[in-house]
């Protein structure tokens, strides 16, 4: 079974750093990009960026470039989303998704989501 399993919920203070993870299994991890998607409380889905696990090449949405960092550890088939300085506005659920069929492709499956709460 193809699965993406994300790390658990986090509660952080503004200014703190954070890394959340997304572990892939059941498929060739380096063959498909991983995209990250944000869902703020009660809101819709926003594409943040994608990473190619084979070479760590990244593409970011302008809304997130410079504020988050995507990375990969192929040895443990895991993708990471990192913040160096969290803001209250980063409070959201973050999903990773396997990105099929290249640029014109689709997202399947999705991880279960990681809730990040940033509050002083």
- Provide the binding-site residues for other proteins, judged by CB under 8 A: 35, 37, 44-47, 50, 59, 61-63, 95, 97, 100-101, 103-113
CA distance 7 to 23: 8
Whichever of 10 and 115 has its CB closer to other proteins, that residue is 115
Q: For residues 37 and 72, which CB has a smaller minimum distance to other proteins in the complex? A: 37
Q: How far is the CB of 100 from other proteins (least distance, A)?
A: 8
* Tokens (6 digits) for 18: 């954070």
> Smallest gap, in angstroms, from Cβ of residue 71 to other proteins?
19
**CB 68 → other proteins: shortest distance, Å?**
13
Q: What are phi and psi of 112, to 5 degrees?
A: -80, -10
Nearer to other proteins, 13 or 43 (CB): 43
Minimal distance, residue 14 CB to other proteins, in Å: 25
Q: Closer to other proteins by CB, 103 or 120: give it.
A: 103
Asked whether the beta carbons of 34 and 28 are under 8 A apart, the reply is no
Question: CA-CA distance, 32 to 61, in Å (whole number)?
Answer: 19
Q: What tokens appear for 117 in the block?
A: 């709460």
Q: What is the DSSP letter of 49?
A: E
19 within 8 A of 86, measured Cβ to Cβ: no
């Amino acid at each position: 079974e193809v699965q993406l399993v994300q790390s658990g919920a986090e509660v952080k203070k503004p200014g703190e750093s954070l890394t959340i993870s997304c572990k892939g299994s059941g498929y060739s991890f380096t063959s498909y990009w991983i995209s990250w998607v944000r869902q703020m409380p009660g809101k819709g889905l926003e594409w943040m960026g994608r990473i190619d696990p084979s070479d760590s090449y990244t593409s970011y949405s302008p809304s997130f470039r410079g504020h988050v960092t995507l990375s990969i550890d192929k040895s443990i088939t895991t993708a990471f989303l990192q913040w160096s300085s969290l803001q209250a506005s980063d409070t959201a659920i973050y999903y990773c998704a396997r990105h099929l069929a290249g640029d014109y492709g689709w997202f399947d499956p999705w991880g279960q989501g990681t809730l990040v709460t940033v509050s002083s």
